[in-house]
């Protein structure tokens, strides 16, 4: 059984996800922790629950999702996996981070490129990957069909969608990613987004003002 734990970090109120199962192996997705208190919140949870962090994953590489990459890599000696297309997006973060006040940001490099068709394994769990560009050009989502869990990043939100006005963003591409890929995961799929509360594919398919399917 996959357990999903959610931490909301940094001024962007970004959701950082910890996925683990009965084996106690764990992956960290989009660590947004920046301040020391945020880092400590994450590490003490891992310690208290006796989890073993085995990999670090990014759905995409916007600043709010990667602020804690370096800390997690160093602390747990794990590799960072992300899509290659977002590598320039990641490299740009250190250039603009000080403008947002993140003067202590340190870049962590991608160790493993992941794409649709690849799988992430931890403990007794396998996550599949969807390539869902539009918000960011190299955006991916991680999902498990048996347990209806999808860590979707900034693609589909409860009642909204990711913004498409940042470099590499495209509205039509995003809608296509949602309707062709995310919606194909089935109505019961629970989507855990990069911001705000979780939702289901069924709910957004029927009522999302941007991407609902019209009969």
- Binding stretches for Zn ion (CB under 5 A): 62, 154
- Can you tell me the distance from the alpha carbon of 193 to that of 191, in angstroms, rounded to the nearest whole number? 6
Indicate the residue among 55 and 154 with the shorter CB distance to Zn ion. Answer: 154
Q: Are 15 and 8 in contact (CB under 8 A)?
A: yes
Q: Are 103 and 93 in contact (CB under 8 A)?
A: no
Tokens for 177, please give them. 């990613």
Instruction: Tell me the sheet residues that pair with 7.
Output: 16
Residue whose Cβ sits closest to Zn ion: 62
Which CA distances in Å does 174 have to 75, 79, 143, 160? 34, 28, 18, 12
Indicate the residue among 62 and 73 with the shorter CB distance to Zn ion. Answer: 62
State how far Cα 93 lies from the chain centre. Answer: 16
- Interior/surface letters 68-101, b for 16+ CB within 10 angstroms, e for the rest: bbbbbbebbebebbbbebbeebbebbeeebeeee
Indicate the residue among 46 and 97 with the shorter CB distance to Zn ion. Answer: 97
The minimum distance between CB 98 and Zn ion, in angstroms, equals 19
The minimum distance between CB 205 and Zn ion, in angstroms, equals 22
Indicate the residue among 76 and 142 with the shorter CB distance to Zn ion. Answer: 142
The minimum distance between CB 62 and Zn ion, in angstroms, equals 3
The minimum distance between CB 150 and Zn ion, in angstroms, equals 16
Indicate the residue among 33 and 46 with the shorter CB distance to Zn ion. Answer: 33
Indicate the residue among 51 and 114 with the shorter CB distance to Zn ion. Answer: 114
Angle (deg, nearest 10), helices 36-48 and 69-76: 40
The minimum distance between CB 61 and Zn ion, in angstroms, equals 8
Which CA distances in Å does 96 have to 44, 99, 197? 30, 5, 28
Tokens for 214, please give them. 């019209």
């Amino acid at each position: 059984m996959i357990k999903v734990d959610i931490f909301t970090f940094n001024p962007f109120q970004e959701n950082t996800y910890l996925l683990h199962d009965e084996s106690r192996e764990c992956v960290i997705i989009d660590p947004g922790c920046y301040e020391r208190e945020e880092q400590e919140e994450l590490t003490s949870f891992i310690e208290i629950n006796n989890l073993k962090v085995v990999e670090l994953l990014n759905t995409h590489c916007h600043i709010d999702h990667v602020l804690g990459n370096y800390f997690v890599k160093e602390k747990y000696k794990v590799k960072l996996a992300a899509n290659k297309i977002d590598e320039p997006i990641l490299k740009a973060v250190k250039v603009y981070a000080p403008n947002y006040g993140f003067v202590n940001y340190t870049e962590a490099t991608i160790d493993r490129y992941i794409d649709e068709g690849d799988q992430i394994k931890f403990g007794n769990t396998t996550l599949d990957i969807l390539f869902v560009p539009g918000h960011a050009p190299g955006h991916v989502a991680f999902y498990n069909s048996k347990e209806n869990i999808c860590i979707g990043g900034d693609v589909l939100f409860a009642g909204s969608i990711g913004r498409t006005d940042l470099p590499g963003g495209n509205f039509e591409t995003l809608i296509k990613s949602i309707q062709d890929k995310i919606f194909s995961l089935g109505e019961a799929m629970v989507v855990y987004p990069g911001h705000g509360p979780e939702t289901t594919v069924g709910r957004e398919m029927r009522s999302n003002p941007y991407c609902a399917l019209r009969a």
